[in-house]
Amino acid sequence: MAVSGFEGFEKRLELRFFDHDDSITNNNNPMGLRLIDFESLDQVLNEVQCTVVSAVANRSFDAYVLSESSLFVYPTKIIIKTCGTTQLLKSIRPLIHLARNLGLTLRACRYSRGSFIFPKSQPFPYTSFDDEVTIVEETLPKSLRYRKSSVMTPSNNPSRAWHVFTASADVESDEQVVVVEVCMTELDRVNARSFFRRKGDEKNSDSAGKEMTRLSGIDMINANAFICDFAFDPCGYSMNGVDGDRYSTIHVTPEDGFSYASFECGLSLYEDGHGDIAEVLSRAVNVFRPGSVSIATTYGGEDYNHEVTKRVERVLAKKLGLKCRSRLMDEFPGSGTVVFQSFTPRRK
């Protein structure tokens, strides 16, 4: 294990706002948060200490690949996840302010992350989840009165916990999307080679990113998605996938000793055409063949489905030889249920 290297584990922030046709906001702005101008977003990202490197949009949302991970902007929802030593929580106050200028009121906030590989390299307050929660709570309006923080610690690997803080104005969640966050470490060395630049393509991030997408098999995880990808120099990779109103994102730090990859997507369990969650996860994890996998699944407005959890475990065991070593569940008022599963190969 390296003494210090690039921190792959991301910090993730999701802010949801009351819909434009809700009586609390009562304006006629179907574009909502998408009307925030790029210069304003860039200023927020500057505070966080990252920049936009690529972007794509469709009728439903805007997707930005960042120098450190990703940003998604929907009419009433913003998702921003950043890796390295970024200062993600500095984005909360200005984003709430920009939304307020558009007549949108904050409805809910969720902040989550895994356990850092290099925790001592993080700046304050990210060296302590308690400190992070304190900063978030001080930043949020008092109207978000249903609050909870939790550290979900697997018994098989206490150093790989899942940290969650939620705050909501409502006791019932308004979010109908199930969010799946996958964190992978100890990537297969052969598979990880796909995410190193080849000689001769140093000057073309666009073609290098597309080659990484194709060689690794990422383009087959969801064949319906339009992929906006980016190759870093000399190694590393990020992509955002756009499929109707559904997003997906992958980030890869391939260096041996602190290799890491993440996959995240938002989907509905009961909509046809978006794929079986277990099969999607199997394809994503198979790209990297990691030695350790954790999956955090957040059920918002949809009820927790135990059969889905069990099916994920069966499919990963059958197709990839991964055994579920720990399964934890916690409920968050106004923000749904989180299930946290940890996997390692059967041979371990």
Closest CA to 70 of 201, 302, 227, 225: 227
Active-site annotation holder among 54, 70, 83, 274: 83
What's the rounded Cα separation, in Å, for the pair 168 and 10? 22
DSSP E strand boundaries for the chain: 11-17, 52-57, 62-66, 69-73, 77-82, 106-113, 146-152, 162-168, 178-185, 226-231, 237-243, 246-253, 260-267, 292-299, 322-332, 336-345
Annotated binding-site residue? 9: no
Active-site annotation holder among 149, 173, 238, 292: 238
Active-site annotation holder among 115, 251, 294, 324: 251
SS3 184: strand
Count Cα atoms within 13 angstroms, Cβ side, for 67. 11
What's the rounded Cα separation, in Å, for the pair 152 and 326? 11
Please say whether the beta carbons of 126 and 82 come within 8 A: no
What's the rounded Cα separation, in Å, for the pair 70 and 250? 9
Active-site annotation holder among 20, 50, 54, 69: 69
109 is catalytic: no
Name residues whose C-beta falls within 8 Å of residue 158's C-beta, 6 or more positions apart in sequence: none
Instruction: Give the type of residue at 164.
Output: V
Annotated binding-site residue? 68: yes
Annotated binding-site residue? 38: no
238 is catalytic: yes
What's the rounded Cα separation, in Å, for the pair 261 and 281? 13
Annotated binding-site residue? 6: yes
Instruction: Give the type of residue at 163.
Output: H
Tell me how many degrees the CA angle 43-49-50 measures, rounded to the nearest 5. 80
What's the rounded Cα separation, in Å, for the pair 17 and 20? 9
What's the rounded Cα separation, in Å, for the pair 16 and 169? 10
What residues form DSSP beta bridges with 322? 345
Could you list the residues known to form a binding site, using ranges. 6, 68, 232, 255
Summarize the annotated binding site for substrate as residue ranges: 6, 68, 232, 255
List, by residue number, the catalytic residues.
Answer: 69, 83, 238, 251
